[in-house]
Chain A
């Protein structure tokens, strides 16, 4: 997952964006989220920051250039320039954060599909605890460490926001 804050150079409105990949699908599918907007989008890279989006059926070639903190994006004959204000979560570091605590949080906004554990269960690290769905993409939320489930704070069918705590656990050392 990627979180990035971008500021258009001609404006003061920041965009807080997250882009989450559906690794397993092999289709380069991503969930894009920015404020209240969500999209499922396919991104096919052609290299060097260029590629083609498929956004609800519309194909949109793009080219990007990153020079330091400046990012230029070519889409449909226009070039948009941004400053990269903040780029905290790179290459799964959001998950690393998630793994560091004793909480299992929603990694994206969506719906809880299935709960694979109940309070009191002893679980292994990386064990699938909750399966959620967002924009037709399923995601398994795994245990950050070995431990015992202390609480489950969601039910199948619940709509959750990104970062919501869905379960807590008591760590257990080997």
Chain B
């Protein structure tokens, strides 16, 4: 097994990987850009090395610098986390060329699955159902009018190199096609440096259901059941769960087998996710393969009682998977909510600042994967996801109750977060009934309860809090003495008995 592993990431996922490494007695080495010098992932690591540079492109995204640090410090393997370099085939290749193990699939698999058009073609050839559409990249609306009409409107224009909803346009009718394509191409060009787009049939009220897959270098490929990730804002998942309330055991088996078939078709190794769209009639279509550990992997860890990072390390080390399809069981129900520094009332605008109070909930079957703590700075430089809250319950009802409780007891102040919004979604009757689809948040008005009356307790706390000095003026970490901050102990010339 590896002795020294570098984590080429930051935030909660870097902390998450560090935890498993340390538990296995492996030295966890982190890298950081200047603004992250006191970040959680640096503090928890065994060693940490500075990435010179100003921008993210010069630091966490600059593979050659990370490789240089790895070589200088005798690193055996690099875990890329998610985002940043995790799906960068060049970086995976660079690791290989320098004798460092990249903890993930091969560069070839990353390349092929990173290209949505190639991926779709591979899946079609392997007999996996795909969304009807034009699987070739198109430039000009005129030449494809007839083909698109055959697919039937509405359709989606999507970026070939895309993800996260960038370069995506919904086209309701033929006269919108040309404009939508031009807009999608412009957006794709600026987001990915690649303006190729393709056309897909638009599916009404689809569910996003994905299958966790795992392959090793001995030819074993298994699936670790599904995650439903239908609750999305700005095309990004915010709540995930397993089992999906929409999946029968027959459908689960079908989708799982399809995902394994897909993984085998591309020679997949290590952890990955095959994403499907599930329509209202229960038909599923291949969407894409994510060639990395997913943000929402803890959901799968809860229901299978496996440590996926540990399994990644074993596979990367050339060992066999620590589980077989038959040994894997889906037990109970798990739910994840992503805690973002953003303002749900202002179109999810990211919020920045210093975290003044950070008190995560703590209880049985409640897990918090966090990249921040009290005193952390939330800046514009990085993704505003602060933490993930994951709960497990014997049933969906139990995990829903536990999630409501945990959100209600999760204190983050100093930046605006989506915690209250998440609780409103979880407690929404349609969510409770499991009536999910990817446009759930557009269909359902999820708004905070009206501020009809401010409770007296709030006014008392407010009056009390109004006496403190402004948090912007004080350095939280340098004034640990609560007594000295207590205005009531310093003033007051009148007496009471």
Residues of A within 8 A of B (CB): 1-2, 4, 6, 8, 10-11, 15, 17-25, 28, 30, 32, 34, 37, 39, 41, 43, 45-51, 53, 55, 58, 60, 62-68, 71-80, 82, 84, 87, 90-92, 94-96, 98-99, 107, 131, 137-140, 142
Contacts and interface: CB of A to CB of B under 8 A. Distances in A.
A82 B462 contact: yes
Which secondary structure characterizes the binding site on chain A? strand
Interface string B442-477: 000000000100111111111111111111100010
A89 to B, nearest CB: 10
B420 A79 contact: yes
Interface stretch (B21-29, B172-180, B272-280, B481-489): B481-489
Interface residues on B, range: 35 or more
Interface of B: 353, 356-357, 359, 407-411, 413-414, 419-420, 423, 451, 454-472, 476, 479-483, 485-488, 490-497
Contacts of B476: 48
Contact of B494 (A19, A45, A53, A95): A95
A73 B456 contact: no
B482 A47 contact: yes
A65 B358 CA distance: 12
A58 B456 CA distance: 12
A68 B479 CA distance: 18
**Interface-central residue, A20, A43, A49, A90, by most chain B CB under 10 Å:** A49
Given A24-B496, A55-B457, A139-B496, A90 B482 contact: no
A87 B466 contact: yes
Contacts of B467: 2, 90
Nearest to B462: A73
A15 B487 contact: no
A67 B496 contact: no
Contacts of B419: 77
B471 to A, nearest CB: 5
B466 A66 contact: yes
B216 to A, nearest CB: 44
B496 A77 contact: no
A75 B493 contact: no
Given A10-B451, A73-B458, A77-B409, A19 B463 contact: yes
28 contacts: A4-B462, A4-B466, A6-B462, A11-B451, A23-B492, A34-B456, A46-B482, A48-B468, A48-B482, A49-B468, A55-B456, A58-B457, A62-B457, A63-B411, A64-B462, A64-B466, A66-B469, A67-B353, A73-B465, A75-B461, A77-B408, A77-B410, A78-B420, A79-B420, A90-B487, A137-B496, A140-B495, A142-B494
Contacts of A107: 494
A131 B494 CA distance: 12
Contacts of A92: 491-494
A63 B357 contact: yes
Contact of A140 (B408, B414, B464, B497): B497
A58 B461 CA distance: 14
A77 B407 contact: yes
